[in-house]
């Protein structure tokens, strides 16, 4: 039973692949017959016309489906494909095929105007070629962009494990330079005050310098060891302390 199911599946797949290619044959025959009978063209020209019409039908339909599938699966950043134009070319094929296979049999007088259809077919063929070439370039550009992004990611991983490059040190701004100069001046003034008044408290030192009491205590703790002054080791209170 399994073998029969496999054989059945193989036969269906084979028919599904062959039938679409055989489907245009009847339409091609009708187009060829119409050009020979109604337009009085030679048989070989009718055969060529039939092949051209059905080939364009296959090409326009395939192109329209390809562009539709691309638009459905593309990313938002990718350019859109002109599906509407491709679908319009499928409409042109249907008009030509129906006109040459049905309309001429119903209204033979239309044979006078039917040759105007074939320049339209030429324009359709050129447009299909342009659409397919443009789509190939579009897909190639997208793939090129993806390859470049993959290359950049690989380079970042090799250089630093994918981390961002270290930022260059920012130049010293005028505000930072002013702050540094002010700090150096404050330290010099604090050093002078401590030399004159070794027993001054840190809070009073900050007020004398016009700075915060916290900064005064910090400067005193940092500068006393540099000046080799006693740090209130005699048991008496410092100036300004309660």
pLDDT in tens, 181-198: 557 788 888 888 888 887
Mean pLDDT of the 226-242 span = 51
What pairs with residue 239 in β-bridges? 200
Angle between helical axes of 202-209 and 213-227 (0-180°, round to 10)? 110
Does the pLDDT value for residue 233 go beyond 80? no
Mean pLDDT, all residues of the chain: 80
As given in the structure block, the two tokens for residue 215 are: 């900064």
Q: Give the three-state DSSP class for 119.
A: helix
Residues 6+ apart with CB under 8 A from 54: 24, 27, 28, 31
Q: Give the three-state DSSP class for 110.
A: helix
Nearest partner of 37 among 25, 50, 24, judged by Cα:
50
As given in the structure block, the two tokens for residue 175 are: 């505000």
DSSP per position, 219-239 = HHHHHHHHHT---STTSPPPB
d(CA 29, CA 50): 7
Percent of the chain whose predicted confidence (pLDDT) is above 90: 19
Give yes or no for a contact between 68 and 89, defined as CB atoms under 8 angstroms apart.
no
Q: Give the three-state DSSP class for 23.
A: coil
What pairs with residue 200 in β-bridges? 239
Which CA distances in Å does 24 have to 21, 32, 55, 191? Answer: 7, 12, 9, 103
pLDDT in tens, 55-114: 999 999 999 999 999 999 988 888 999 999 999 999 998 888 888 878 877 888 888 888
d(CA 154, CA 59): 40
d(CA 108, CA 236): 130
DSSP per position, 35-63 = HHHTS---HHHHHHHHHHHHHHHHHHHHH
As given in the structure block, the two tokens for residue 45 are: 């020209």
Domain boundaries, the chain: 2-158, 176-227
End-to-end Cα distance, the chain: 107
């Amino acid at each position: 039973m399994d073998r029969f199911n496999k054989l059945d599946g193989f036969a269906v797949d084979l028919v599904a692949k062959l039938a679409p290619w055989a489907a245009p044959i009847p339409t091609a025959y009708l187009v060829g017959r119409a050009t020979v009978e109604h337009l009085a063209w030679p048989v070989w020209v009718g055969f060529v016309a039939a092949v051209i019409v059905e080939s364009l039908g296959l090409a326009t339909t395939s192109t329209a489906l390809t562009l539709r599938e691309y638009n459905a699966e593309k990313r938002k950043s990718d350019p859109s494909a002109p599906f509407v134009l491709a679908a319009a070319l499928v409409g042109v094929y249907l008009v030509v095929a129906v006109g040459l296979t049905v309309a001429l049999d119903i209204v033979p007088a239309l044979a006078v105007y039917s040759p105007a259809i074939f320049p339209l077919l030429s324009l359709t063929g050129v447009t299909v070629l342009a659409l397919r070439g443009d789509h190939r370039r579009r897909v190639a550009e997208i793939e090129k962009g993806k390859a470049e992004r993959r290359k950049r990611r690989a380079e970042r991983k090799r250089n630093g494990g994918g981390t961002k490059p270290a930022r260059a040190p920012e130049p010293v701004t005028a505000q930072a330079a002013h702050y540094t100069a002010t700090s150096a001046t404050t330290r010099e003034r604090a050093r002078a005050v401590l030399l004159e008044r070794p027993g001054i408290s840190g809070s009073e030192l900050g007020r004398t310098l016009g700075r915060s009491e916290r900064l005064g205590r910090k400067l005193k703790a940092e500068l006393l060891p540099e000046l080799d002054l006693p740090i209130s080791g005699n048991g008496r209170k410092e100036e300004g302390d309660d």
